[in-house]
A and B are shown apart, each in its own frame.
Chain A
Amino acid sequence: MVEPILKVKNLNVNFGKEEIIKDLSFEVKKGSVLIILGPNGAGKTTLLRSLLGLIPYKGNIVWNSKKISYLPPQELVQRKYLPPMTIEEFFRFKDVENKDILKIFREVGLEISLLKKPFSALSTGQFQRMMIAWALVDNPEVLLFDEATYGIDIGGEETIYSLLHNFWEERNLTILLVTHDLDIVYEHANNVLCLNKEKMCYGEPTNILTPQNLQKIYGTGIKFYKHIHK
């Protein structure tokens, strides 16, 4: 029996009088991948931020780990108007050794020479790989990742998800991934949490991503999503 690494019970988050998350309860098992699905404004980012204690909430959130890493959507990461900082200096913000930086850089498929480049000089795809490397360089047990492929083309998206999948397999990493992208769910998720302010469904993708549930989450206009499970 795998222990839950995260237990959430009766979570409620309000911004003023607006209810963003309502009475949400779920558990995440250690070493599993949970994908959080939902339309815009469903409370996905708010959920991750509350799990990290970044915003006030009511209810219980219990982590069975202290080594948690978080990557927000790339649009919320400032890349301009910063000091003239190299990628290497950015990695030095963490207390890590040079060999660890070089190792993770190779693992995410980036050239070592990029370490000397300015923080703002990377392409969107390179930047996201670099951020993944940064998030994982000090060996966290949990990775919370919001909109992992924002602004990345289709080929790049697949690379990012494959990369995360490899890390998950090799490191027994627990991953909580927020996305709009239904395509990746069957291939990468152990469980799916469908969110639209409250829990609409939770469980293994093959069991719960039915046309009825998708209609319930996204409203009208969602066509049946057919997939081939590998």
Chain B
Amino acid sequence: MEIILALIMGVFVGAAAGYLGTLMLSKRMALVAGPLGHLTLPGIALAFFLGIDISLGAFVVVISGILIIWLLEIRTKLPMEALTAIVFALGVAIALLFIPEDKTIPALIGDISQISVMVTILTVVLSLLVIFVTQKIYKKITLAEISSDIAASRGINIKKYNFIYLLCIAIVVSLGVKIVGGLMTAALVAIPACTSRNLSKNIFQYSLGGLVFGGLSCLVGILGFKISGISAGFLIIFSSTFFFLISLIFKRK
């Protein structure tokens, strides 16, 4: 039963992460998911301390981290990735100080061995929400990437959409931490998007490809875990990278 729940959860989180990842890659922010993933670690420590679900703890800390980064960016005008580095370094330091030693490895590489029906349902709903919201903001954010002035002149509130976008990243990273751990969440968003980029010739194919390869990587990784007993987090990254390598053969010029 648990493996079925893990498969359902993995496929939906992977699909949402892969889909959102295509937008993040377009904004050259795919790697930001890495530091934000590390930021889940103090959230996991907080969850252990309060006895709540680790995704909830992770979400609270990631959202706080994003808000701090957002405010620091307005205040200092420093690049977002530099501020993310500062905040995530602090987060990792705090986390490693407080996470119980026996929980450190699951926090770093994920653990799908104990998943409840309730958590699975909630994860599926949140993943669908991320896919729906990402689809709604996709064109607006892409237009703002082409020209923020054109987008703003058409009445698009770029700050609002960027905030919604960051919120989606926070949700995906918090959900992803359960499957691949705080160390490897960047791979959930970055690799399927890169694979899809190699194979697609328009936005429709590209965004759909991110969704499909994200879901498929998690499916293969979790089935691999069932067969081999090797951590699903590792196997998801390996399968995702395998799809990427295959995509290089078929890469569009």
Contact = CB atoms under 8 A, between A and B. Distances in A.
A85 B142 contact: yes
A78 B150 contact: no
Given A81-B28, A83-B22, A83-B26, A89 B202 contact: yes
Contacts, number: 64
A89 B203 contact: yes
A86 interface: yes
Interface stretch (A27-35, A67-75, A175-183, A221-229): A67-75
Given A78-B145, A93-B143, A84 B202 contact: yes
Interface in B140-190: 142-143, 145-147, 149-150, 152-153
Interface in A104-126: 118-119
A77 B146 contact: yes
B201 A118 contact: yes
Contacts of B139: 92-93
Contacts of B204: 89
A120 to B, nearest CB: 11
A78 B147 contact: yes
A68 B153 contact: yes
Interface in A51-95: 52, 54, 68-72, 76-79, 81-86, 89-90, 92-93
B202 A86 contact: yes
A92 B142 CA distance: 12
B59 interface: no
Contact of B152 (A52, A79, A92, A119): A52
A188 interface: no
Interface string B207-240: 1000000000000000000000000000000000
Tell me if B's interface is mostly helix, strand, loop or mixed. helix
A72 B26 contact: no
Nearest to A89: B203
Chain B, interface size: which category?
Answer: 20 to 34
Interface residues of A, number: 25
Contacts of A81: 26, 28
Contacts of B202: 84-86, 89
Contacts of B252: 84
A78 B143 CA distance: 10
A69 B150 CA distance: 8
For B28, B142, B153, the residue with the greatest tally of chain A CB atoms inside 10 Å of its CB is B153
A199 interface: no
Contacts of B153: 52, 54, 68-70, 144
Given A52-B153, A70-B153, A93-B139, A83 B146 contact: no
B206 interface: yes
17 contacts: A54-B153, A69-B153, A70-B153, A72-B147, A77-B147, A77-B150, A78-B147, A81-B26, A83-B26, A83-B197, A84-B197, A84-B201, A84-B205, A89-B203, A92-B139, A118-B201, A119-B146
Given A89-B203, A93-B142, A144-B153, 11 more contacts: A52-B152, A72-B150, A78-B145, A78-B146, A79-B146, A82-B146, A83-B22, A86-B201, A89-B202, A92-B139, A93-B143
